[in-house]
Amino acid sequence: MFAYHAIREIRRRKIRSIINILGYVIAVSFLIIMISLAQGYNVVASGELKGIGTHFVAYIPASTVCPCQFREAGPFFKDVYTPTFNSDIVEKMLDLPGVDDAAPYLMFKLDNLTISGIKVGALATEATAVSPAMVVDGKYLEEDDKESVMLDEVFANLLNLNVGDQITAFGRTFNVVGIVNPSLYSKPAGNAHMYGLLTVVQEIAQSYGTLLNFLVSDINVVLVEISPIGDVEYLNSVKQSVLETLEFEVGKKGAIVGYQCGVKARKVASLTEDSAWITSVILLVAATLYSLRSQFGSVVERTKEIGILKAMGWTDIDVTKQIFFESLLQGLLGGIIGLIIGYLITFLIPMLGLVSIQNLVFAVSPVLLLFGLISSIVGGIIAGIIPAWRAAKLQPAEALRHF
Amino acid sequence: MTTKNYPLLETRNLTKEYFRKDGSIIKALDGINLKVNSGEFVAIVGRSGSGKTTLLNIVGALDRPTYGEVILEGKKLIDYSNRELALLRRQKIGFIFQTFNLLPTLTARENIELALVHHQISQKQMNQKVEDLMDFLEISDKMDSFPNELSVGQQQKIAIARALVKDPVLVLADEPTGEMDPIAEREIMELLFELNRKSKVTIIMASHGTFLFDFSDNMLFIKNGKLVPKKEADY
């Protein structure tokens, strides 16, 4: 009944209805095309940008022989036991020209098990060691996760451990809050079996240092992020200044190892997707507001008709349903047409060679389609609420006097 | 139908005031008292602006009085909620307007059916009622026509059918022939008179014309919102 009259009204006011529906069509198809395009671009861009090396680690390589006396235990990095040094050096490196960020890092080995202590929230940590993007299950460590660790995916699979399980290692019991795969986007700075907060790993290293009689200070690696500007010569000069600072402060010969830049590249690429989302949402809101205004105008124009319906015994709820259904139907129609158009165009773009990026593959996610449809329906609902309420509140005698 | 001991419709001291922006008050109705028995054809005669439409709107539960009471079938409408008034209009009151007020998007048949869509009635019964009525009104051949394809007389017949199809106890006609030529006017008046006599439906008709003398059981004259004797009437 309501659907029948809604369709009649939509057909009667063709221009108005077409413009309303068109608003949803444009917004939804734009959403599908832009997000799919951005996601496809993201994959390609990540691959392309992996080769840019703007970050590296600085450490003091020492001996493959364990500094301990009773067990294989000690600060460890890149297959060797390494000396440790005070983390104040990080502050000095941060002052160097060209250094964007520097973060302390402590990898500790006990027998065949390694744990890395990280500074959460540091760009250098995320770019070089492990980042939230590498979490394949659970969550990334937070600053108050003192009794928690993230496990390397291979290690977790080997022990059949999952998020929510507990693991006993290094004389402590940890909650597993996340499973990570640091090799997912870039070559990481030394894979560890476990990742914990820096302060926690420092405590572990100190307790074993005291127990097994080797010296432990603070950290054994500094993760460094260089500003991604300038040429290779410039990058090398910054690296050299970092190395000199390390060697000067520690008094031993240091080493620098550069890494690929998958994480940062992905961050840059993801900006495109973020902006596509923002633009699409703005378009959807604009379509909804236009439809709201249009529906409101329609109610004003139909004031007398609403009066007639009320005179025949339609209740406020009946009138509300009628107006609301019209708006909802327009949102639904716009959403469905938008999905079809967006889907077709997304596949036509690479077929027609409309983009110059090679290897660009579009895949429209079902979740995105669902989101597009739900958004336009919600838009239709919002656009219908106020006019429907206004129509319901009209007094029949007043409405009948309207011309 | 009217309950034995009281009239179908009664108004007591019915008053409607409108407030102007400057704070002054206009009295559209001023203490109207009337009684209408079941099956009567009552004419309310008065000039434009005398209060006829306001009276019909309030009696038909389209508007509420500022003071006074409307009592339909022994029940005071002042106690009714908006929803209850809507249901009352749906079940018991049919309206015929001067400008017909047909919905332009619907065919003649659909306009009539619109009065029954919320009634507990099968599609078959609905079709039967609509077709019988259209036969009686001699507009069966216009079932699928849209209002803009019909003459004013035919449009008003559709509006009359819409008012009657739900078998109301009361039909309120507000200058139903106001836009018609004398021949069409006569035809519609005879039709309403015949309906009143055959189906015993109570009709209250507002008009400024004296031709109602030929049809009505009871004529009331309204002037400046008050019922007045014929000799004081101004029409």
Highest mean pLDDT of the ranges A46-55, A91-100, A159-168, A238-247: A159-168
Name every chain B residue with its beta carbon within 8 A of the beta carbon of A298. Answer: none
Average pLDDT over residues B138-156: 92
CB B192 within 8 Å of CB B180: no
Q: Pull the structure tokens for residue A378.
A: 């919600």
Name every chain B residue with its beta carbon within 8 A of the beta carbon of A313. Answer: 86-91, 115, 118
Of the given ranges (A155-164, A227-236, A378-387, B103-112), which has the lowest mean pLDDT? A227-236
| Percentage of the residues of chain A whose pLDDT score is greater than 70 | 87
- The residue with greater pLDDT, A13 or A85, is A85
| A317 in B contact zone (CB under 8 Å) | yes
CB A304 within 8 Å of CB A352: no
Name every chain B residue with its beta carbon within 8 A of the beta carbon of A398. Answer: 63
- Inform me whether the pLDDT recorded for A216 exceeds 50: yes
Of the given ranges (A213-222, A231-240, B114-123, B200-209), which has the lowest mean pLDDT? A231-240
Q: What pLDDT, on the 0 to 100 scale, is given for residue A232?
A: 66
Name every chain A residue with its beta carbon within 8 A of the beta carbon of B104. Answer: 12
Residue B22, beta-bridge partner list: none
* Rounded Cα gap, residues B156 and B184, in angstroms: 10
Name every chain B residue with its beta carbon within 8 A of the beta carbon of A314. Answer: 86, 90, 118
- Inform me whether the pLDDT recorded for B14 exceeds 90: yes
For residue range A160-197, what is the model confidence (pLDDT) as tens digits? 999 999 999 999 999 999 999 887 655 666 678 999 99
Residue of chain A minimizing CA distance to B87: A313
* Rounded Cα gap, residues A219 and A212, in angstroms: 18
The answer to whether the Cβ–Cβ distance between B97 and A9 falls below 8 Å is no
Name every chain B residue with its beta carbon within 8 A of the beta carbon of A305. Answer: 103
Give B232 to chain A, closest Cα distance, Å. Answer: 29
Instruction: Please tell me the total number of residues recorded for chain B in this structure.
Output: 235
- Inform me whether the pLDDT recorded for A57 exceeds 60: yes
B3 pLDDT tier (thresholds 50, 70, 90)? very low
For residue range A267-317, what is the model confidence (pLDDT) as tens digits? 665 666 777 777 778 877 877 887 777 777 777 778 888 889 999 999 999
- As for the ipTM of the complex, it is 0.90
The answer to whether the Cβ–Cβ distance between B86 and A304 falls below 8 Å is no
What is the pTM (predicted TM-score) of this model?
0.60
CB A248 within 8 Å of CB A295: no
Name every chain A residue with its beta carbon within 8 A of the beta carbon of B162. Answer: 312
Identify the CA nearest to B176 among candidates B94, B93, B112.
B94
Give A397 to chain B, closest Cα distance, Å. Answer: 5
| B100 in A contact zone (CB under 8 Å) | no
Q: What pLDDT, on the 0 to 100 scale, is given for residue B66?
A: 95
Q: What pLDDT, on the 0 to 100 scale, is given for residue A306?
A: 86
- Look over chain B and give the mean of its residue pLDDT values, rounded to a whole number: 89
- The residue with greater pLDDT, B211 or B32, is B32
Residue A172, beta-bridge partner list: A169
Give B220 to chain A, closest Cα distance, Å. Answer: 22
Mutation site for B-interface testing, chosen from A312, A317, A319, A400 by largest number of B Cβ within 10 Å? A312
Q: What pLDDT, on the 0 to 100 scale, is given for residue A198?
A: 94
The answer to whether the Cβ–Cβ distance between B63 and A397 falls below 8 Å is yes
Q: What pLDDT, on the 0 to 100 scale, is given for residue B234?
A: 74
Residue B17, beta-bridge partner list: B27
For residue range B61-104, what is the model confidence (pLDDT) as tens digits? 999 999 999 999 999 999 999 999 999 999 999 999 888 899 88
| Percentage of the residues of chain B whose pLDDT score is greater than 90 | 60
In this complex, the residue of B83, B89, B105 whose CB is nearest that of residue A312 is: B89
B227 pLDDT tier (thresholds 50, 70, 90)? very high
- The residue with greater pLDDT, A112 or A214, is A112
Average pLDDT over residues A246-257: 88
CB B112 within 8 Å of CB B134: yes
The answer to whether the Cβ–Cβ distance between B63 and A304 falls below 8 Å is no
The answer to whether the Cβ–Cβ distance between A12 and B60 falls below 8 Å is no
For residue range A307-349, what is the model confidence (pLDDT) as tens digits? 899 999 999 998 888 888 888 888 899 999 999 998 888 888 7
* Rounded Cα gap, residues A127 and B30, in angstroms: 85
